[in-house]
Chain A
Amino acid sequence: KQEVTQIPAALSVPEGENLVLNCSFTDSAIYNLQWFRQDPGKGLTSLLLIQSSQREQTSGRLNASLDKSSGRSTLYIAASQPGDSATYLCAPRSQAGTALIFGKGTTLSVSS
């Protein structure tokens, strides 16, 4: 059974810092992996999707990398802003048409 761990559980940084959020998963046989952000009491917003054949995917200030063989993904946020404050969730998918498995997330707080 796939298990997902995200480290750190919480992170507080001043505005402008670059930061890395870590995700590890126990079953490396994944189809793809998505990173989401969740604002308090809200639904999930998809940030990046990285296919199992990819090493990384970029969108604006966000960059996600994937090392499938070691069961790790990282989300890099450049030049953090207070608006980035949210919980970030990592979710691998084992195959097409199946549900995502979620970690507990990293709660990020960016102060101005």
Chain B
Amino acid sequence: SAVISQKPSRDICQRGTSLTIQCQVDSQVTMMFWYRQQPGQSLTLIATANQGSEATYESGFVIDKFPISRPNLTFSTLTVSNMSPEDSSIYLCSVEEMRLGRDTQYFGPGTRLTVL
């Protein structure tokens, strides 16, 4: 299965600043997804990032707040801009991989963000 790494693993940031989260995959993948997991909640999809096209954002998430880059088939970044305490969450990237004829999603270890 795809091996996914994220940087940083955790960070504590000040209100009003921005943080860029990196997601690196050890194989080429077409579909990448960014999710947010707020404290005590389940995962919510932020956007879908395909290489060579603009990211597609879910309702409630906008590009100005969460700009995403997808420069190639193994890498993506998510920026959390102008942060507020409400942005404190775990951010996870995931990829879709076809394995034994099945579309399976795999997740990175997550980035734990705390905004003060």
Contact = CB atoms under 8 A, between A and B. Distances in A.
Interface in A37-58: 41-46, 49, 51
Nearest to B31: A97
Chain B residues touching A, range: 20 to 34
Interface of B: 1, 30-31, 33, 35, 41-45, 48, 90, 92, 94, 96, 102-110, 112
A68 interface: no
Contact of A43 (B30, B103, B110): B110
A89 B105 CA distance: 13
A99 B45 contact: yes
Given A44-B92, A97-B31, A31 B103 contact: yes
A41 B96 CA distance: 22
A49 B104 contact: yes
Interface string A84-112: 00000101010011111111110000000
A105 B110 contact: no
23 contacts: A32-B102, A32-B103, A36-B107, A41-B90, A43-B110, A44-B43, A44-B92, A46-B1, A46-B104, A49-B102, A49-B104, A91-B43, A93-B103, A93-B105, A97-B96, A98-B48, A99-B35, A99-B48, A100-B43, A100-B105, A101-B45, A102-B43, A103-B42
